[in-house]
Amino acid sequence: MNQKIYLSEDWLFNENFQEGMTATEYPEETLQPVRIPHTCKETPFHYFDESLYQMVSGYRRHLHIPTEWQGKRILLTFEGAGHDSTVYLNGNKVGEHHCGYTAFTVDLSAYASYGQDNVLCVRLDSREDLNVPPFGYVIDYMTYGGIYRDVYLEVKDQIALEDIFVHTLITPDEAQVTSEITFYEVAKDLNVRQYYMLKSDAVMSGVVSDVTSDNGWQFLCEQNVPTGTTAETPFRI
């Protein structure tokens, strides 16, 4: 199971973050409806002071989490939020990120209320901070704030691939492929199989979803994932 759900609509915004915004109950009539991507401050084209968009603002959104997601891993990804972010679900802090130009992901699973309404809140500090990149040296551009790129949910099984990096070693006599895999979670008796397809076959078949030998995929190897492997350490095959 792997779903990707974009959360562009139904956000609420306040230029002045208040601690109460993280709670499930909050007077939302005081907040401004916005759509993501969003800037924390609209500025005139001809002139403005850079202090206009430097603030601690707050975003809030209701999120229904169905019961069938229980036991799954619910991952929330921000592709860009300037510049210092703290994320809450139902009043609980679920993660933080200290850079406005890189994506980050938080896991909502531990604090989700299944089959019910959940409240997502983001405290976003767009003030310049010497300890948060790219500040700390010389910058020759305006560093606007806000959740300025897409936000999406991914629903994955507990045992799923978090990242994979493929290394190749090719000589005149042989070719070697090493896959470096990071898992969200590792279970006992977990096996990984690796297949390959000739480039000419891949071009002819287009996108292939079933990994079987009768549609061009060729079995390469299989290996058991050691029980000592953790979600933080890559596994190599």
Query: Of residues 65 and 189, which shows the higher confidence score?
Result: 65
| Backbone φ/ψ region at 67: left (φ over 0), alpha (ψ -120 to 50), beta | alpha
Mean pLDDT across the chain: 90
Taking alpha carbons only, the member of 58, 63, 64 closest to residue 32 is 58
pLDDT band at 202 (very low <50, low <70, confident <90, very high): low
pLDDT of residue 206: 60
pLDDT of residue 158: 84
Give the whole-number percent of the chain exceeding pLDDT 70: 92
pLDDT of residue 209: 57
Q: Is the pLDDT of residue 123 over 60?
A: yes
DSSP secondary structure of 2-70? EEEEE--SSEEEESS--GGGGSS---GGGSEEE-SS--S----SS---GGGG-SEEEEEEEEEE-GGGT
**Cα–Cα distance, 174 to 142 (Å, whole number):** 51
pLDDT band at 163 (very low <50, low <70, confident <90, very high): confident
Residue that is written with structure tokens 């790219």 in the block: 134
DSSP H helices in the chain: 199-205
0.95 exceeded by the pTM?
no
Query: Of residues 25 and 201, which shows the higher confidence score?
Result: 25
CB contact set of 189 (below 8 Å; sequence gap of 6+):
224
pLDDT of residue 185: 80
Q: What tens digit of pLDDT does each residue of 138-149 get?
A: 888 889 999 999
pLDDT band at 15 (very low <50, low <70, confident <90, very high): very high
pLDDT of residue 61: 98
Q: What tens digit of pLDDT does each residue of 63-115 get?
A: 999 999 999 999 999 999 999 999 999 999 999 999 999 999 999 999 999 99
Q: Is the pLDDT of residue 228 over 80?
A: no
Q: Is the pLDDT of residue 208 over 60?
A: no
Tokens of 219: 């079995």
